[in-house]
């Protein structure tokens, strides 16, 4: 650092041309590193987003089939019990409703599991408001 007492200083608040050149070199290197990091992130972002979307689609189809399956199984159990016991339609209705309740419970559990996995994969950076250029 220049010493102003012996006349080497450039003046208060100014830097020497050598220090300025070093500073510009460091800023240029930092800009290159930042650009490399941004390009790597841009390459990885679409893959991560498509994987999350595919996982969500798979879970949606799974939940729909589990709901329909639970209702059908409940209804079939009630139907066959009614046929065997001759109490048509009471056991059918009871088991149909039990199947529906079981299906809804499975959907809720699956959604909670999916939400936890997405939150873990995105480190919680999903669903938060992000200020845009127009917000000042």
pLDDT digits (tens, 9 = 90+) for 32-58: 988 888 888 777 777 777 877 888 788
Q: Is 11 a residue whose pLDDT tops 90?
A: no
Q: What is the pLDDT of residue 12?
A: 67
In a 3-state reduction of DSSP, which class is residue 98? helix
Q: What percent of the chain has pLDDT over 70?
A: 82
Q: Is 16 a residue whose pLDDT tops 70?
A: yes
Give the HSE-up count for residue 65: Cα atoms under 13 Å, Cβ half-sphere: 6
Q: Is 124 a residue whose pLDDT tops 80?
A: no
Q: Residue 15 burial (CB < 10 Å; 0-12/13-18/19+)?
A: middle
92 alpha carbon, distance to own chain's centre: 41
What is this structure's pTM? 0.58
When pLDDT is averaged across residues 63-72 and rounded to a whole number, the result is 96
Please report which residue ranges of 1-136 form alpha helices under DSSP H. 17-85, 90-122
Using pLDDT thresholds of 50, 70 and 90, give the confidence band for residue 129: low
Exposed e or buried b per residue across 108-122, where buried means at least 16 C-beta atoms within 10 angstroms of its C-beta: eebeeebeeebeeee
The whole-angstrom separation of Cα 13 and Cα 55 is 57
Count CB atoms within 10 A of the CB of residue 54: 10
Q: What percent of the chain has pLDDT over 90?
A: 43
């Amino acid at each position: 650092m220049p010493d102003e007492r012996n006349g080497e200083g450039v003046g208060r608040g100014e830097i020497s041309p050598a220090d300025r050149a070093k500073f510009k070199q460091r800023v240029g290197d930092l800009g290159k590193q930042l650009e490399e990091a941004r390009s790597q992130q841009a390459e990885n972002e679409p893959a991560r987003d498509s994987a999350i979307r595919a996982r969500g689609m798979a879970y949606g189809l799974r939940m729909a089939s589990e709901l329909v399956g639970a209702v059908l199984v409940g209804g079939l159990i009630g139907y066959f019990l009614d046929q065997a016991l001759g109490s048509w339609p009471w056991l059918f209705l009871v088991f149909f409703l039990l199947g529906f309740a079981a299906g809804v419970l499975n959907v809720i559990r699956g959604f909670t599991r999916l939400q936890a996995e997405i939150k873990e994969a995105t480190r919680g950076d999903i669903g938060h408001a992000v200020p845009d250029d127009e917000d000042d």
